[in-house]
Amino acid sequence: MCLDATLTVLANGCYRWLASRLRGYDKAAPKQLYRRFIETGGVVEVRASDLAIHFDKRSHNPILREAALDRDCPPIAWIRNRPLVFAYP
């Protein structure tokens, strides 16, 4: 029970952070954020220099691009300190 509550609070905080970074979505519900941004198809490519996320073509990609969520992301330790890079069609 305690773990469920903790994970729920943590997930809600993550959705609020995401909403704060996306123009026009600061008051969006978690369900709406999930449908438009999290439930997005694509391909993850581990390259020699970075970890590239190639998003499928979607109408909300310009909002993700503008938010530049990968800009301030530190290198990821468990993939040999490679940086995260988002690629849009």
pTM for the whole structure: 0.79
Residues 6+ apart with CB under 8 A from 54: 42, 43, 44, 45, 87, 89
Residues 29 and 3 in one domain: yes
Residue 1 has pLDDT above 70, yes or no: no
Residues 68 and 47 in one domain: yes
- Print the domain residue range for 71: 41-89
Q: How many domains does the chain have?
A: 2
Find out whether 22 and 64 touch, Cβ atoms under 8 Å.
Answer: yes
Residues 28 and 52 in one domain: no
pLDDT in tens, 25-68: 999 999 999 999 999 899 999 999 999 999 999 999 999 999 99
Residues 86 and 47 in one domain: yes
Instruction: Tell me the β-bridge partners of 45.
Output: 52
